Structure 1
Amino acid sequence: MIRKTHSNRFVSWGALVLVVLVGNVAQAVQRAVVRPHIIEVFTSADLSVTGEAAINRQPTHREIEIHVYELDGIKHIEAKLSKGLTANPDQSKRIVLQRIQQLNEAGLARMKRTAMGLAKVVQYGINRYPAIVFDGEVVIYGVTDLREALRQYQQWRAGGKR
């Protein structure tokens, strides 16, 4: 006849307790080190973004991709292109086309980046700036310090209050 021993029950309960503890520790660790993959900042030239370097100095297995979009960049380029134009539409058109052709790579890159930022604003439904988007999912408005925005994001992900 086979008899059940108390040690089998102890091992079963011990294994269950161990699984629960390990699971809780794993969840706590996961909550503590929540780091987004991509941070997108939507701002204007007159609002300075801070804390970018500090975020990627934090110890981690990977860097966070950070993209900054100055949404008023097209306004600045447009002002530069239209400066001193004449009242004659044909002549103004020629001048603007010539100025566009003379834009350097930095100017063209700025135009593309601004256009990309404006498209993302529409995609995300952002209605004001500054705005910081984490992994295309979470938006924090009114903050230009990336460290503070990351702290708020991590606190939110962990289920805490702001």
Structure 2
Amino acid sequence: MNAAVRRLIASLTCATVLPSVQAQERVEVFQLGTQQVRGTGAATVYHVDGIERINATLSAGLPSDPAQAEAVAKRRFEALTAADRQAIGASAQGLTAAMQYRLTKVPAIVFDGVAVVYGVENVDQALAIYRTWRARVGR
């Protein structure tokens, strides 16, 4: 990607300053389970569709009878592993953060709780865009 295109993307994608949730040096990645964001390293990664995916698994092929469906769903819910429950909690936490940041699409990479780069699937590339924007606006 050439410098002119990078500057254009930076001006379009980082122009939105987010409401501060907690001002710290950090990188947060918001994505769907089907997306592959590279270079996440120390970033906090949220799969914002985790609850939907678990719900789809729990409700797949339920009987049409409401009482039977409830019993089957209850058994499935009780059979969730600790990892499943942890994924649900992490997804809920990610959804909460996404709402606080007022994110409008994914993937979204949030830097320092103040700026977001949308649509980039590489943290290093998004970081370069963020730094270019930050230098241009004097942050």
- The corresponding residue for 2:6 is none
- The corresponding residue for 1:71 is 48
- The corresponding residue for 1:86 is 63
Within 1, Cα distance between the matches of 2:109 and 2:39?
13
Cα shift readout 1:98-152 (whole Å, capped 9, x = no counterpart)? 1111111111111111111111111111111111111211111111100001111
Paired positions, count: 114
- The corresponding residue for 1:22 is none
Within 1, Cα distance between the matches of 2:125 and 2:93?
25
- The corresponding residue for 2:121 is 144
Q: Provide the secondary structure at the position in 2 that maps to 1:42.
A: strand
Q: Provide the secondary structure at the position in 2 that maps to 1:140.
A: strand
- The corresponding residue for 1:127 is 104
- The corresponding residue for 2:25 is 37
Tell me, which stretches of 5 or more residues in structure 2 are unaligned? 1-23
Report the AA paired with residue 81 of structure 2.
N
Tell me: higher relative CO, structure 1 or 2? Use CA pairs within 8 A at least 6 residues apart.
2
TM-score by length of 2: 0.76
Question: Based on CA coordinates, which of the two structures has the bigger radius of gyration?
Answer: 1
Tell me which of 70, 93, 100 is aligned to 2:77: 100
Within 2, Cα distance between the matches of 1:117 and 1:52?
15
TM-score by length of 1: 0.66
Cα shift readout 1:11-66 (whole Å, capped 9, x = no counterpart)? xxxxxxxxxxxxxxxxxxxxxxxxx721111111121010124xxxxxxxxxxx51
- The corresponding residue for 1:62 is none
Identity %: 38
Q: Provide the secondary structure at the position in 2 that maps to 1:151.
A: helix
Within 2, Cα distance between the matches of 1:115 and 1:123?
12
Q: Provide the secondary structure at the position in 2 that maps to 1:51.
A: coil
Structure 1 residue ranges, 4+ long, deviating more than 4 angstroms after superposition: none
Within 1, Cα distance between the matches of 2:40 and 2:96?
23
Q: Provide the secondary structure at the position in 2 that maps to 1:48.
A: coil
Within 2, Cα distance between the matches of 1:142 and 1:48?
11
Question: What is the deviation of 1:79?
Answer: 1.3
Within 1, Cα distance between the matches of 2:89 and 2:39?
24
State which drifts further: 131-140 or 150-159: 150-159
